[in-house]
Amino acid sequence: MKKIPFNKPYMTGKELWYIAQAHAQGHLAGDGNFTKLCSRWLEQRTGATKALLTHSCTAALEMAAMLANLGPGDEVIMPSYTFVSTANAFVLRGAIPVFVDIRSDTLNIDETLIEAAITPRTKAIVVVHYAGVSCEMDEIMEIAKRHELIVIEDAAQGIMSTYKGRPLGSIGHMGCLSFHETKNIISGEGGALLINNPEFVDRAEIIREKGTNRSLFFRGQVDKYTWCDLGSSFLPGELITAFLWAQMEAADSITAQRLSLWSQYHHSLEALESTGRIRRPIVPDHCQQNAHMYYVLLPDLDSRTMFIERLKTLGIGAVFHYVPLHSAPAGRKFGRPHGSMDVTDSHSARLVRLPLWMGLEEHFDEVIAAVGESLA
Ligand SMILES: *Cc1c(COP(=O)(O)O)cnc(C)c1O
């Protein structure tokens, strides 16, 4: 039986050509021509003041935590239903993740629960746009303004998505993107930090360049470079950004094709939802999504376990997602939940992600048939 994997990285066909160009140019370290092309593209597409490529979204989150000046004992409000890096980046600064529950419809942080979790030590809110569907950013930015908090968007899954027409990652003070091979636009490992407040730009360049003002030096704005601040090496090499450039050029067509697959799933699974076997994703009207993921919610953990097992025997790769951070060993050690985590616990136990990748079209009928059979 032919296996249909959960994920299959898509290559546009131009990656090696651009890598050969980077090779021929003989500039292999970071911040060469391909990095410039990619960061300019991101700035144009998102409207961010500055886009800085990093070697991962994790690195971009770590930079954001440094830029937010977080220190020991500071509190950061975030969902528990997210990837570990959302929390780790802040724990590395000694800050305390304070987890709040998610909304039942989008699985994003429940904005109505944020204000009650704020204490005098709260410094930032980190939102995660799950499955590339936006959080309720107007309400969240309003709360942040009232309490003078910094908002960082974990938009790892959100490239090409918008909230009321505004690109994800460009709404908070900073936004973090991922180009990991499981995301929509990829370079194997890769990411970017979007800076939307000009006040953070100079320091961000320094933090990204090992704590030195090397960027100013290369622009001829200082005559030698020196150690100025905290920092690390966060930039990707040119071979990676050459690969990424091929993907960015194809971003519109990749998004359109993924959206088409997503709609096919949504249409094909409508009947199973109407008989109560599954719940399909809910995308609010004011959120344009990017088809990063197609997931379904099953009635309970046991039915999910059986469903994934049955799909596996039919050769289909389907996976569950996050173990909520508040229940993980490190989450318990470094963070704390605020209030009930009922939706997080319930949804994380019931969610299954179905395959969604470029080229799945030709196997699509087989996947849908297997889903139906596995739920029978
Ligand atoms: C993928 C992902 C990350 C991590 O991205 P990397 O580029 O692998 O570091 C962080 N947060 C969320 C929500 C993600 O989905």
CATH number at residue 362: 3.90.1150.10
* Domain-terminating residue out of 220, 249, 278: 249
153 DSSP β-pair partners: 127, 175
* Residue 118, SS3 per DSSP: coil
- Is the beta carbon of 108 within 6 A of some atom in ligand 1? no
* Domain-terminating residue out of 249, 272, 306: 249
223/94 same-domain check? yes
214/72 same-domain check? yes
Question: Residue 58 C-alpha to ligand 1 middle, in angstroms?
Answer: 6
144-199 pLDDT tens trace: 999 999 999 999 999 999 999 999 999 999 999 999 999 999 999 999 999 999 99
Question: Residue 243 C-alpha to ligand 1 middle, in angstroms?
Answer: 19
pLDDT category, 227, cuts 50, 70, 90? very high
Res. 220: pLDDT tops 90: no
217/288 same-domain check? no
- Is the beta carbon of 191 within 6 A of some atom in ligand 1? yes
CA distance 153 to 4: 33
* Domain-terminating residue out of 249, 277, 300: 249
Across the chain, what does the average pLDDT equal? 97
CA distance 124 to 90: 10
Atom of ligand 1 at shortest distance to CA of 178?
7
- Does residue 308 lie in a domain region? yes
Question: Residue 26 C-alpha to ligand 1 middle, in angstroms?
Answer: 31
193/293 same-domain check? no
pLDDT category, 1, cuts 50, 70, 90? low
| pLDDT at site 142 | 98
- Listed residue (147, 125, 146) closest to 136, CA to CA: 125
30-58 pLDDT tens trace: 999 999 999 999 999 999 999 999 999 99
Q: What is the CATH number of the domain that holds 116?
A: 3.40.640.10
Rounded to an integer, what is the distance from CA 26 to the centroid of its chain?
32
189/126 same-domain check? yes
236/255 same-domain check? no
Res. 5: pLDDT tops 70: yes
- Does residue 3 lie in a domain region? no
- Does residue 10 lie in a domain region? no
Count how many Cα atoms sit within 13 Å of the Cα of residue 68 in the half-sphere of its side chain. Answer: 36
- Does residue 155 lie in a domain region? yes
Which residue range forms the structural domain that includes residue 141? 15-249
183/263 same-domain check? no
277/230 same-domain check? no
Number of structural domains (the chain) is: 2
- Is the beta carbon of 157 within 6 A of some atom in ligand 1? yes
- Does residue 273 lie in a domain region? yes
Question: Residue 100 C-alpha to ligand 1 middle, in angstroms?
Answer: 19
309-347 pLDDT tens trace: 999 999 999 999 999 999 999 999 999 999 999 999 999
- Is the beta carbon of 132 within 6 A of some atom in ligand 1? no
243/256 same-domain check? no
- Does residue 259 lie in a domain region? yes
Measuring from atom 5 of ligand 1, which residue has the nearest CA? 57
- Does residue 130 lie in a domain region? yes
* Residue 135, SS3 per DSSP: coil
The C-alpha torsion from 143 through 146 and 147 to 151, rounded to 10°, is: 50
Res. 269: pLDDT tops 90: yes
- Listed residue (210, 211, 192) closest to 153, CA to CA: 192
Mean pLDDT value across residues 7-12: 97
| pLDDT at site 193 | 98
pLDDT category, 297, cuts 50, 70, 90? very high
Radius of gyration of the chain (CA): 21
